[in-house]
Amino acid sequence: MDLSPDACYRALTSRDARFDGRFFIGVRSTGVYCRPICPVRTPLRRNITFYPCAAAAAEAGFRPCLRCRPETAPGTPAWRGTSATVSRALQLIGEGALDRSGIPELADRVGIGERHLRRLFDLHVGANPVSVAQTRRIHFAKKLLDETRLPMTEVASAAGFSSLRRFNTAMRETYGRAPRELRRGRGSRPETEDSSLQLRLDYRPPFDWPAMMSHLQARALPGVEQVDADVYVRSIEIGGMSGRIEVGPAQQDHAVMLRVPARFSRHLMGIVERVRRSFDLAADPAEIQLQLGRDPMLRKIMSAHTGLRVPGAWDGFETAVRAILGQQVSVAGATTLAGRLARQWGEKLDDPRGEVVRTFPRPERLARVDLTRLGVVRTRARAIRTLSREVAAGRIRLDASADVDQTCQALLAIPGIGPWTVQVVAMRALRDPDSFPAGDLGLRRAFELQGQTLDAAAIEARAEGWRPWRAYAAVALWRFEGLEARRGLQASSTVDKNSSRLPSGSRQ
């Protein structure tokens, strides 16, 4: 844990939401563990033990607090930056790796031995992988009990329990109550095919939601994505089903609301994990701003744009294809080409409504089509087909559980894919917080607006001091450059309108 116990106690007494999820408090006098924002009276310092994550508190014998609901806390970043292996293993656990197999298989997937994996978890997480997976299941089940009216069998299945009996036992052992008692009389009901589930996903403030929506709206893929006011809508395809999800700000502070069709209930945990990554809900803006603020230029930019997040990717393959299409063309041009791909080879939704009517084509499909028919230049078409074959065969993984260095090397080995594309994919699909496309034209323009003319090599050297948060620095520079360019266009438009009324020669 980065924070000292004394610092943690000061954070606890402040009830500051920015510390939510960074650590948990085990209260020995009550036997419960809480979030730093728990509304109960602050326990005495001598009765408290601090833990880096909920699983560590649970493994120490504490049960979750029913007041502050630890299951709703933002993702815990305590282990980030300390072990890439642990980070990958946690991502795999989040995707249900231990629901389908055991620790030996998990260790094999991250390329180390089982004993070494357990040692790393003890060191960086404070709990073993099984405890992390079990805490994850229990927390998600409790969330579904509180926020939905799904029947108990569906709650158990969605949370990754192999049977209703195991679910009931685990909830009784953890909370001392049966699941039906935890639901507080809300009751349950089978959802209809057309009904939807709503889940609240918390984050640490601040969050520049307009900046996120602006980024997504500029790149919204026709037929696949839509940004309506401050709500993001997109198509998804999971388990042979397709449909739409919606993500927008919650009425209460520090959360977004996810709306998903009820028929996806068995896949809810995976959907929630992907949405959290797509909107970077586990980010710690205070820590990131503190680190990047050491650079005077970034300090000025980030103080004006607090709460920036790195936009992620619902589907890594889709993001990689769009990045290839975006090489040396505008954002609008790449979006148009990607929309043509979706319209030509994407599948129609099971419930098409509004503007979102198709899914993005799967790699198996794009591996065997002629993309030049849609106006894609030959070198990029060949690169997309090669990438599609590699992804379809499982030789390249494009998600947050992939090894960043190996995946980047594999992408660079494909003719037609350059460093800019690889860094964009690493930033958005692989969720690497230190990726940085130094050759990006927008970054160069941002430096020019600050009076600095730098080439890619000089920008790369300047960014060395921003590690390990270079991706956030890039987002801040892009936001600054975009807003300045917009102001410049508006000013130019105003001058042009006014100058038309002036006598000839008065424009000077």
- Locate all alpha helices (DSSP H) within 50-196, ordered by sequence: 54-59, 84-94, 97-100, 103-110, 114-124, 129-147, 152-158, 164-175, 179-182
Catalytic residue from among 34, 65, 68, 408: 34
CA distance 116 to 453: 48
Strands of the 32-34 sheet, one edge to the other? 48-51, 24-27, 32-34, 63-64
Contacts of 69 (CB under 8 A, 6+ apart): 35, 142, 143, 146
CA distance 220 to 335: 7
Contacts of 495 (CB under 8 A, 6+ apart): none
Q: Give residue 283's identity as a one-letter amino acid code.
A: A
Helix/strand/coil for 212 = helix
- Two tokens, residue 424: 């964009």
- Two tokens, residue 420: 């800019």
- Locate all alpha helices (DSSP H) within 266-377, ordered by sequence: 268-278, 285-292, 296-304, 316-325, 331-345, 363-366
Cis check for the bond before 503: say yes or no (omega within 30 of 0): no
User: Which single residue is written with the structure tokens 């994407």?
Assistant: 346
| Buried-state track 361-389, b at ≥16 Cβ within 10 A, e below 16 | bbbebbbebebeebebbeebbbbbbbbbb
Cis check for the bond before 468: say yes or no (omega within 30 of 0): yes
Cα 199 versus chain centre, distance: 16
| Buried-state track 423-451, b at ≥16 Cβ within 10 A, e below 16 | bbbbbbbbbbbbbbbbbbebbbbbbeebe
Catalytic residue from among 280, 315, 432, 440: 440
Helix/strand/coil for 502 = coil
The answer to whether the CB of 356 falls within 8 A of the CB of 244 is yes
- 53 an active-site residue? no
Phi, psi of 490 (to 5 degrees): -65, -40
- Two tokens, residue 350: 């099971």
- 399 an active-site residue? no
The CA-atom distances, in angstroms, between 430 and each of 5, 14, 271 are 33, 35, 17
The answer to whether the CB of 54 falls within 8 A of the CB of 76 is yes
Active site residues: 34, 440
